[in-house]
């Protein structure tokens, strides 16, 4: 099944590389205060690379949103209210119990359903909640003059910074869990292969191969 068009693959590879650079440089900046401590790069270099990567990531993000607005890929991110929680629970049960007992996927991939309910929710939270928040707070840190002076007696810059590092933390955790769940296809490498070739291998395909 051809599920990952070229533009999604191009967006995804650039996004993943930039994320890794942003995590490493972000951590470098956070810990440079500790006496002569340098994590991969020094403070000045970390700031420069963090800013450059963040600007490219923002442009790439606009490309992702536009792609999902104007192509059919956007339909995979639409949530239906009916069975929302029960479907999430079914998927969670599969991840925590079913898959270790040889059960079949409760939501097999089809041309109409690329993501299982848990995957869909985590992609929506990462792409449409955490990413906009980290981009907006990052712009606030880059251009402090646009940040409000204070909110209920707390410095606006401090709140912006807190929001930025909190989202950074959540997105880093998301990425680790995301890469792990991407190993849970029919074979550990099958989903990664799909993101490179564009084709998701169906269960039948593997049965024939085996
Ligand atoms: C080294 C890091 C990463 C690897 C190896 C990786 C791997 C993959 C793979 C194999 C898929 C296809 C399986 C699927 O449909 O879920 C995928 C899809 C996806 N990944 Fe990643 N990923 C990485 C980083 C990220 C990051 C940092 C984000 C966002 C913050 C992200 C967001 C997504 C999204 C939204 C999709 C679905 C795209 C679509 O088909 O519409 N990934 N990833």
6-209: which CATH architecture? Up-down Bundle (1.20)
pLDDT for 204? 55
68 lines ligand 1 (CB under 6 A): no
Confirm or reject: Cβ of 9 under 6 Å from ligand 1: no
Q: Whose CA is nearest to atom 34 of ligand 1?
A: 123
The ranges assigned to domains in the chain are: 6-209
Residue 88 near ligand 1, beta carbon < 6 Å: no
d(CA 171, ligand 1 centre) in Å: 12
Calpha distance 151→166 (Å, rounded): 18
1 near 186, Cβ under 8 Å? Answer: no
Mind listing the pLDDT tens digit for each residue in 129-146? 999 999 999 999 999 999
Q: Is 14 in the pocket of ligand 1 (CB under 6 A)?
A: no
Q: CB within 8 A of 127, min separation 6: which ones?
A: 64, 77
Distances (CA, A) of 105 to 3, 112, 140, 185, 209: 18, 16, 43, 10, 19
Phi, psi of 200 (to 5 degrees): -90, 120
* Range 82-100 burial, b when 16+ CB lie within 10 A, else e: eeeeebeebbeebeeebee
Give the percent of the chain with pLDDT over 70: 93
Under 8 Å between Cβ of 171 and 131: yes
Cα(192) to centroid of ligand 1, in Å?
Answer: 9
- pLDDT at residue number 149: 87
- The protein residue whose alpha carbon is closest to atom 38 in ligand 1 is 8
The answer, yes or no, to whether any atom of ligand 1 lies below 6 A from the CB of 184, is no
Nearest atom, ligand 1, residue 115 CA: 15
Residues facing residue 151 across a β-bridge: 154
User: 90 near 108, Cβ under 8 Å?
Assistant: no
123 lines ligand 1 (CB under 6 A): yes
- The residue ranges of the chain whose pLDDT is under 50 are 205-210
Count the Cβ atoms, other than its own, within 10 Å of residue 193. 14
Q: What is the dihedral of CA 59, 62, 63, 68, to 10 degrees?
A: 160
Distance from the CA of 163 to the center of ligand 1, in angstroms?
23
What pLDDT is stored for residue 137 in this prediction?
Answer: 97
Q: Is 12 in the pocket of ligand 1 (CB under 6 A)?
A: yes
CA 70 to mean position of chain CA atoms? 20
């Amino acid at each position: 099944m051809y599920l990952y068009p070229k533009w999604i693959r191009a967006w995804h590879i650039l996004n993943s590389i930039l994320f890794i650079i942003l995590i490493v440089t972000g951590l470098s900046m956070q810990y440079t205060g500790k006496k002569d401590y340098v994590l991969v790069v020094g403070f000045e270099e970390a700031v420069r690379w963090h800013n450059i990567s963040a600007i490219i990531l923002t442009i790439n993000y606009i490309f992702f949103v536009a792609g999902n607005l104007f192509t059919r890929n956007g339909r995979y991110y639409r949530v239906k209210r009916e069975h929302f929680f029960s479907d999430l629970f079914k998927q969670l049960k599969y991840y925590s119990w079913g898959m270790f007992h040889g059960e079949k996927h409760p939501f097999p991939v089809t041309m109409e359903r690329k993501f299982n309910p848990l995957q869909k929710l985590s992609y929506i939270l990462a792409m449409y909640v955490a990413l906009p928040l980290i981009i907006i707070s990052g712009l606030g840190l880059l251009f402090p003059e646009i940040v409000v002076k204070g909110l209920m007696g707390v410095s606006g810059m401090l709140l912006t910074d807190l929001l930025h590092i909190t989202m950074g933390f959540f997105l880093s955790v998301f990425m680790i869990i995301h890469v792990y769940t991407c190993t849970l296809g029919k074979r550990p490498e099958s989903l990664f292969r799909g993101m490179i070739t564009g084709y998701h291998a169906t269960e039948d395909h593997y049965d024939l191969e085996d």
